Amino acid sequence: MKTNEERQRPIAVFDSGMGGISVLKELYRLMPHEDFIYMGDSKNAPYGERETEEVYRLSKGWVEYFIGKRAKAIVIACNTATSAAAARLRAEYPQMPIIGLEPALKPAALAYGGTGRTILVLATSLTLREEKFKQLLAQYRDKARICPVPAPELVELVEQDDIDGARMDAYLSALLSPYIDEDIAAVVLGCTHFPFAKHAIAKALGRETEFFDGAFGASKQLKRQLEKGQLLADRNRPGSVLIENSTGSPEMLSLSERLFAK
């Protein structure tokens, strides 16, 4: 049986920067009575261009940080850090519920598998080259035409608050031009920064397409896990959300707040 104090502890969420805020929004929507602490590690972004070991080391540092803050669960709101570090961290901290993010290829393939239409998977280079994604791809490769598209600069454009400017449009039209003649049914946003660029992606593709991301699935999974562990907060007031950024920069904090409020 968990104590009342344990149930009231915050849920910790981290990402390499702004991206995880797209997950934090979903978590807060689903569990509005929980307290959240968010760390955007913009100082070390992008994780997707680093080596696996480095991303593991950075992620472990955040897990330790949040244990120091008495978090009751940790959400790795980053597909890249999940691929690079989640399995090791779960083995090292078996008492701590650790939830990760993965590209939402499964729901996209279930929706469009067998139609002969194309599914684009936009993610970081590291996510796409890790074993976790290779296994996911192997599971659904026969069901749909799946095209993995590494999109590293998209992370930086979101970090620089260049979400709907000319640089974003130019980058996306060059990135997506090889697929423009394909019959694209869906785009999997396999990096938590990318939901913020959804409108620009739709504009670059110039057609209706369905987007899939992992935020809702991960949030539901955490809620289930907290329920099972009797760790859901049982307070009446709305939960609090504390957003931090490893740069300590007021501009980055204000961008984080704006993206959260969007």
Active-site residue list: 78, 191
| CB-based burial, 126-136: b 16+ in 10 Å, e otherwise | bbbebebbeeb
Query: CA–CA distance from 170 to each of 45, 163, 188, 189, 200 (Å)?
Result: 22, 12, 20, 19, 10
Applying CB under 6 A, among 59, 118, 124, 246 the residue interacting with ligand DGL is 124
- Beta carbon nearer to ligand DGL, 23 or 109: 23
Residues 129 and 127: their CA atoms lie apart, in Å, by 6
- Beta bridge partner(s), residue 123: 150
> In whole angstroms, how close is the CB of 18 to ligand DGL at the nearest point?
8
Q: Is 103 in the site for ligand DGL (CB under 6 A)?
A: no
| Nearer CB in complex with ligand DGL: 79/219 | 79
When asked if residue 118 is in the footprint of ligand DGL (CB under 6 A), the reply is no
Our CB check for ligand DGL shows the closer of 34 and 130 to be 130
Contact assessment for residue 246 and residue 65, using Cβ atoms and an 8 Å cutoff: no
> Does the protein bind ligand DGL through residue 15 (CB under 6 A)?
yes
**One residue of 80, 219, 245, 246 binding ligand DGL per CB under 6 A:** 80
Give the binding-site size for ligand DGL (rule: CB under 6 A).
Answer: 16
Only one of the segments 40-48, 129-137, 170-178, 226-234 lies at the binding site for ligand DGL (rule: CB under 6 A); that segment is 40-48
Burial 152-167 (b: 16+ CB within 10 A, else e): ebbbbbbbebbbeeee
Mask for 132-161, x = binds ligand DGL (CB under 6 A): -----------------------x------
The residue (of 192 and 245) whose beta carbon lies closer to ligand DGL is 192
Mapped onto helix, strand or coil, the DSSP state of residue 170 is: helix
Spatial separation of the C-alpha atoms in residues 33 and 37, rounded to whole Å: 13
Q: Read off the DSSP letter of residue 94.
A: T
39's enclosing H/E stretch is strand 36-40
| Main-chain phi, psi angles of 122, to 5 degrees | -90, 130
Using CB under 6 A, pick the residue from 59, 127, 245, 246 that binds ligand DGL: 127
* Residue of the chain from 16, 118, 245, 256 that contacts ligand DGL (CB under 6 A): 16
Instruction: Please state, in angstroms and rounded to a whole number, the distance separating the CA atoms of residues 245 and 160.
Output: 14
Q: Does 62 bind ligand DGL (CB under 6 A)?
A: no
For ligand DGL, the binding residues (CB under 6 A) are 15-16, 19, 45-48, 78-80, 124, 127, 155, 191-193
